[in-house]
Amino acid sequence: MFNVDANGAKIPAIGFGTFRMPGADVLRMVPAVLKLGYRHIDTAQIYGNEAEVGQAIASSDVPRANIFLTTKVWVDRYRHDDFIRSVDESLKKLKTDYVDLLLLHWPQSDVPLAERIGALNEVRDAGKVRHIGISNFNTALMAEAVALSKAPIVTNQVEYHPYLDQTPVLDAARKSGMSITAYYAMADGKVIGDPTIKAIAAAHGKSEAQVVLRWLVQQDGVVTLSKTVSEERAKSNFQIFDFELSSDEMRALHALARPDGRIVSPRNLAPDWD
């Protein structure tokens, strides 16, 4: 496993995501993945499982200081006072006095971006947050966030998989020194059985999921999240650092991108995508 360096943050290249994961599964899976070697755990206020994530980390054998923990502020808590309160609530649920990374979950809001970025900086200055970032931002909003922030923005967490070309967002991130954190890497399961991915997987003696995760982390400045409620699959997903894709294989995977490749785009939350 390696870290992605982004504006002063060292982010473990593969993280374990807990989106739509019930508390009981979180309590089972988080200690299991930490035992496997994962050191990056991703949650959010809206997931409703911060308390279980906190309990699972606290009960694991891995010291809190060795874990990169991310959570996200939901859109209904963007007003300054609500924002600060929500972060304190998240820390209490997570049983920690800081998170390694705090993100704005979606960009659409009546609250000015300057107010939201200001609140991010405030909780960072208070030591409640080590690093700050954004999620689901387009390139124009990325540039605005960077311009408004005193502290460096370290990541933009976005949907990214072989069927979605994120070149403009990747270019913008690299230009400002931030990383991209990929979610929905498996494209809701569509990568499994894809003939191109299957052929590359066979050539390496790996699974389609392993190939896609490797494709992501092999790109400059890209972190990926993997999510599963299977301990066996979590183990497999972590075994992506013992092989490398050729430049031709990387290109073949990029070539799978298509105009209708985006899966996640809630109308009341999403920006105008690049």
Segment 254-264 mean pLDDT: 98
Flag whether 274 is in a domain. Answer: no
Is the pLDDT reported for residue 172 higher than 90? yes
- 98 domain-assigned: yes
CATH number at residue 73: 3.20.20.100
Q: What is the three-class DSSP state of 48?
A: coil
Q: Establish if 7 belongs to a structural domain.
A: yes
Residue 128 lies in a domain: yes
Q: Is residue 188 part of a domain?
A: yes
Q: What is the mean pLDDT of the chain?
A: 98
Instruction: Please tell me whether 105 is known to bind a ligand.
Output: yes
State what percent of residues in the chain have pLDDT above 70: 100
Is position 271 within any domain? Answer: no
> Per the residue annotation, which of 38, 47, 183, 184 is the catalytic one?
47
Cα gap 215→210, rounded to integer Å: 8
pLDDT interval class at 1 (50, 70, 90): confident
Q: Is residue 47 among the annotated active site residues?
A: yes
Burial 56-70 (b: 16+ CB within 10 A, else e): bbeebebebeebbbb
- pTM value? 0.98
Structural domain total, the chain = 1
**Domain span holding position 148:** 3-254
**Distance from first CA to last CA of the chain, Å, rounded?**
31
Is residue 206 domain-resident? yes
Question: Per residue in 177-191, pLDDT tens?
Answer: 999 999 999 999 999
Instruction: Show Cβ contacts of residue 48 under 8 Å, excluding neighbours closer than 6 positions.
Output: 23
In a domain, 272, yes or no: no
